[in-house]
């Protein structure tokens, strides 16, 4: 039996949407449109990886955001406020994800390599089903069509950092054991999801939320700036418990082979 049976891939910042821009920019826009309330892109990134309702709720609890919200509205952000922002967010997000559906350079080659190893391609996302229904067919036109797609609101148990979406991939794809699965993600909640599911985990530092730059912005950074950003991103993902961290999906082959060898020796995550 092959040692690694399946990888479960995140979407934005992992396979598509270099820098994970589609969700972060829309969080900023949705709060502005819903309540004329301003947040920064940096604040929008802090809860990244959570389901989007949970993300908005977490934003409202960030000390900087909570203080400004209370100053503007004389009360904390309520669940009703979160609902209204979420309902503003979703239609904006459905439009935006289509613009960021093209796979990150090198991602398709990595996925093709995985398929050549007879490894199944699972996926899950912090996006709800109606956003995924907009994203998935456009990504397929670019050549990315995973074997399984699980959205943040598909399961009654909930979303990240719980294990349920990752485990639903195991269920749908008929994987024999969770320790034969690798969860690959660019954000802390996605790494925690994989750990909570009993899987191996690989963090992606450069292309996703941990660095948070577009490809053009990254290329414009100096060598010193790149080194600083990558050190910070690697530290963030390793501190979350990632077994391994690499720059991008195109760099995973060597790590998958290492994990396969560890499984063959009887090691578990």
DSSP secondary structure, 151-190, as one string: -TTSSTT--TTSSHHHHHHHHHHT-S-GGGEEEEESSHHH
- Beta-strand pair 244-246/200-204: parallel
Task: Give the model's confidence band at 31: pLDDT under 50 very low, under 70 low, under 90 confident, else very high.
Answer: very high
What are the structural domains, with CATH classification, of the chain?
Answer: 6-20+101-264 (3.40.50.1000), 22-99 (1.10.150.240)
CA distance 50 to 125: 9
What pLDDT digit, counting tens, does each position of 102-115 carry?
999 999 999 999 99
What pLDDT digit, counting tens, does each position of 221-243 carry?
999 999 999 999 999 999 999 99
SS3 string, 28-95, reads: HHHHHHHHCCCCCHHHHHCCCCCCHHHHHHHHHHCHHHHHHHHHHHCCCCCHHHHHHHHHHHHHHHHH
Positions marked active-site? 10, 52
Task: Give the model's confidence band at 255: pLDDT under 50 very low, under 70 low, under 90 confident, else very high.
Answer: very high
Among residues 258, 266, 151, 244, the alpha carbon closest in space to that of 195 is found at 244
What average pLDDT does the segment 26-49 reach? 93
Q: What is the pLDDT of residue 22?
A: 87
- Cis before residue 161, ω within 30 degrees of 0? yes
Main-chain phi, psi angles of 202, to 5 degrees:
-125, 125
Q: What is the pLDDT of residue 49?
A: 85
Local structure of residue 104 (DSSP, 8 states) = P
What pLDDT digit, counting tens, does each position of 82-107 carry?
999 999 999 999 999 999 999 999 99
CA distance 57 to 55: 5
Q: Are 32 and 208 in contact (CB under 8 A)?
A: no
Among residues 171, 173, 164, the alpha carbon closest in space to that of 193 is found at 164
What average pLDDT does the segment 193-208 reach? 97
Whole-prediction pTM:
0.92
Q: What is the pLDDT of residue 235?
A: 97
**1: pLDDT strictly greater than 60:** no
Percent of the chain with pLDDT over 90: 93
What pLDDT digit, counting tens, does each position of 152-173 carry?
999 999 999 999 999 999 999 9
The pLDDT mean for the chain works out to 95
What average pLDDT does the segment 133-151 reach? 97
């Amino acid at each position: 039996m092959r040692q690694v049976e399946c990888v479960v891939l995140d979407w934005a910042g992992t396979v598509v949407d270099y820098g994970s821009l589609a969700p972060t920019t829309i969080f900023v826009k949705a709060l502005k449109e819903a309540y004329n309330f301003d947040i920064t892109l940096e604040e929008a990134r802090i809860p990244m990886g959570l389901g989007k309702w949970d993300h908005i709720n977490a934003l409202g609890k960030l000390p900087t955001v909570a203080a400004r919200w209370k100053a503007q509205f004389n009360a904390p952000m309520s669940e009703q406020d979160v609902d209204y922002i979420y309902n503003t967010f979703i239609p904006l997000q459905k439009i935006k994800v289509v613009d960021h559906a093209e796979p990150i350079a090198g991602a398709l080659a990595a996925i093709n390599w995985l398929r050549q190893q007879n490894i199944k391609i699972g996926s899950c996302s912090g996006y709800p089903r109606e956003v995924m229904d907009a994203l998935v067919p456009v990504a397929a036109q670019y050549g990315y069509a995973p074997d399984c797609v699980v959205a943040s609101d598909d399961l009654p148990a909930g979303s990240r950092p719980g294990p349920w979406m990752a485990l639903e991939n195991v269920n749908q794809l008929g994987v024999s054991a969770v320790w034969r699965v690798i969860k690959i993600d660019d954000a802390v909640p996605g790494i925690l999801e994989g750990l909570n599911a009993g899987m191996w985990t690989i963090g992606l530092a450069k292309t996703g939320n941990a660095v948070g730059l577009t490809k053009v912005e990254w290329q414009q950074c100096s060598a010193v700036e790149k080194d600083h950003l990558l050190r910070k991103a690697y530290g963030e993902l390793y501190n979350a418990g990632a077994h391994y961290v690499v720059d991008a999906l195109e760099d995973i082959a060597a790590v998958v082979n290492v994990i396969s060898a560890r499984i063959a020796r009887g090691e578990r995550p």
